[in-house]
A and B are shown apart, each in its own frame.
Chain A
Amino acid sequence: MQESGRNTVRILIAKPGLDGHDRGAKYIARALRDAGYEVIYTGIRQTTEAIVDIAIQEDVQFVGLSLLSGAHMALFPRVVQLLREQDADDIIVFGGGIIPAHDVYELQDAGVRAVFPPGTPIQAVIDFIEETRSESSAEPAVR
C-alpha cells in the first residue's frame, strides 16, 4: 500500500473526432507512464462527450487531446466547454498534433492550457504537468 495521502497524477490521453492516427497519442501515453503518471488511454475516434465522461469517472487532473486531422479548433474548445458545464473545469486540458502556430493562441484563449506540436521534447510536457498539477484540486471536495 502506498504512503497515506500521496497524490498520484492521473492523465487521460484522448483522440477526439475521426482522426485514426494514434502514434503520437500512444507515444505520449507511454512516455508519461514512464515518467511515473497513471495514464488512461481512450483509443481513437471518441466523441467529446465520451472524453469528458471518462475524464470525470477516472478523476483525472489532466486531459491531453491529440488530433492530426485539422478539426482541433472545433473539438478542443468543445472539450473545455463540456468540462465547464459539468463543473469540472479544474481539469486541465492540453493538446498536441498538427496544430498550426496561429491556432495556438486561439486555443489558449478558449481554455486549452498548452499545445505541444510534433517534435516537442517529452520533458516539456512533464514540466508543464509538474508546474500546473497543484492547480487541479487534489482534495476530494465536490462542487
Chain B
Amino acid sequence: MSGDARPDYAQAGDARPGYGSPDDAHAGDARPRDARPDDAQAGDARPGYGSPNDAHAGDPQAGDTHPDDALAGAARSGDAPHAALDQLVSGVLAGKPRAIARAISAVEAGRHERDELLRRLELARGSAAPPRIIGFTGPPGAGKSTLISAVLETARAAGDRIAVLAVDPSSPFSGGALLGDRLRMTRHAGDAGVFIRSMATRGSGGGLSAAALEAAGVLGAAGFDTILLESVGVGQSEVGIMSVADVVVVVLNPGTGDEIQTLKAGVMEIGDLYLVNKADLAGADDLERSLRRANLVSPGTELPPEILRVVATDGTGVPELYQAIIDRVTRLEASGELSERRRRRLSGALEQMAGDLFRQWIRRHDLVNGSGHVPFGEVRHRLSELLDVLSRTMEEHDD
C-alpha cells in the first residue's frame, strides 16, 4: 500500500523542511524534484518552523489582538504575577475550561502560585459545601473507566455538573505516562457539564494525594459539585489516594479469584460500596455471596458497606449506584462522620506535605556529606540534632 511512497520518504528526513525534525528546515539545500517554488526560503519563511523563538512572528493571533496578552506576557517575566493570577482565579470561578485546566496544571506541578491560587478559590467559594469526591478503585480491567462513563451519563441525565480525575501511573524509569482512562469516556467530550482530567502519579503516592485534593478544590470552585476520582487500581498507594475521597467505591469482577482474594488487606478495607461489575457474567452470584459473607466494614463509620451489582457496559444498575453514592454521602454528612473523614484526610495531607518537604531538604543538603564510609550512628546523630533545632523553632513559632 505504501510501497510507492517509500522512495520519497526514504530521503524525506533530510530533504524536506519540517519533515523530520525542526533542524531539517535549515538543511533544505537538497530538495526533491517536486519542491515548490518558494521552497528556497522555506526555512526562514515558515513562521515558527525555523527556530523555536520566532514561532509567532508571522502569526496574526499572537500580536496585540488579545488585550490580555500583555498581562500574560508580564506574568511570564515576573512583572505582574498578580494580574495573571487574578485572571486565572476569575477564569476558574467563571467555569472556563482553559482556566480550570491551567489551574490544575499549576497545582499538579506545585508551581509557586499554587498556595495563593487555592486560597483565593476557597475564599471565593466561601461557605458553600465542598465538592463530593467519590473514589473508584479496584483491580486493573475491573471496568472502572467504563463504569465512570456510565455514571457520568446518569449524573448528566439528572442535570448534575460532574468532573473526573483519572489517575494512571508514571513510569518509574522514564517519568513518562500513558494516560488512557478517558479513552472510554470520549462520548462526553463537548458537554460543558463534564470536565475530565487525566493525572499521572509522578513518582509518589504522597504528593499525588495532595495534588488530587487540590485539583478537586479547583474543580469545586469551578462549579463541579461531584468529582469522580479514578485510581490506578493496584497496591498500597491505592489506600493513600483513596483517603482523598469522601466515599470509596471498590469495583470487582466475577471470576478473578476465590473467596480468599476478597479478604485480603488493603483495598478490601476501604470501601463504602462494593460493586460486582460485569454482573451478567458467570460467577457473579459467587462473588456477591462471598462479599456478603466477608463481614466487610467501612472505615470511620458504623454504616455497613453496601454491595451492588452493575453492568457498566450497558448501564444496568448504574442509576441505582449513583443514588446509593448520593445517599451514602448524605448519611455520612448527617452523622458527622463525613466531616471527621475530611478532617482526617486534611491532617494526612499535611503530614505528607511536611514529609515531602523534609525529604527534599535532606536530599538537597546531603546529610551523609558526600564521600567515604559514614557510620549509620553518626548520621542518626546529625539527624537528631537537626530535629532538635527544628522542634525548638516550632515551639518558638507557637508562642
Contacts and interface: CB of A to CB of B under 8 A. Distances in A.
Contacts of B254: none
Nearest to B69: A143
B109 A42 contact: no
B202 interface: yes
Contacts of A109: 46
Contact of A116 (B10, B20, B174): B20
Contacts of B18: 104, 108, 113-115
Interface string A23-67: 000000110111111111111001101100110111100000000
Contact of A142 (B21, B87, B171): B87
Given A1-B204, A135-B56, A141-B71, 20 more contacts: A1-B207, A5-B112, A38-B170, A38-B176, A39-B179, A40-B179, A43-B180, A43-B183, A87-B66, A88-B98, A101-B34, A104-B16, A105-B36, A108-B49, A117-B5, A124-B21, A135-B53, A140-B113, A142-B87, A143-B98
A127 B22 contact: yes
B88 A140 contact: yes
A120 B158 CA distance: 48
A141 B88 contact: yes
B66 A41 contact: no
Contact of B111 (A32, A37, A140): A140
Given A4-B111, A101-B16, A101-B32, A141 B177 contact: no
A46 B186 contact: yes
Contacts of A58: 101, 179, 197-198
Q: Which 4 A-B pairs have the closest CB atoms?
A: A1-B207, A50-B189, A141-B72, A140-B102
Interface string B53-80: 1011001011000101101100110000
Q: Which of B59, B76, B182 counts the most A-chain CB atoms under 10 A from its CB? A: B182
Interface of A: 1-8, 10, 29-30, 32-43, 46-47, 49-50, 53-54, 56-59, 84, 86-89, 98, 100-102, 104-105, 108-109, 113-121, 123-125, 127-128, 131-135, 137, 139-143
Nearest to A4: B110
B149 to A, nearest CB: 12
Contacts of B109: 2, 4-8
Contacts of A8: 109, 175, 200, 202
B104 A59 contact: yes
B271 interface: no
B143 to A, nearest CB: 16
A50 B185 CA distance: 11
Given A2-B202, A104-B16, A131 B5 contact: no
B356 interface: yes
B110 A35 contact: no
A30 to B, nearest CB: 6
B9 interface: yes
Contact of A143 (B21, B23, B68, B180): B68
Nearest to B22: A131
A82 B111 CA distance: 29
A33 B259 CA distance: 37
Interface string B14-48: 00111111110000000010101001001000101
Contact of B182 (A42, A115, A127): A42
Contact of A1 (B69, B174, B177, B206): B206
B48 A131 contact: no
Contacts of A7: 109
Given A46-B186, A54-B182, A89-B59, A102 B102 contact: no
B97 interface: yes
A50 B190 contact: yes
B179 A117 contact: no
B112 A4 contact: yes
B319 interface: no
Given A36-B176, A101-B12, A131 B52 contact: yes
A50 B191 CA distance: 9
A34 B207 CA distance: 22
A49 to B, nearest CB: 6
A49 B91 CA distance: 21
Contact of A34 (B97, B112, B174, B203): B174
A86 B103 CA distance: 17
A30 B32 contact: no
Contact of B55 (A59, A135, A141): A135
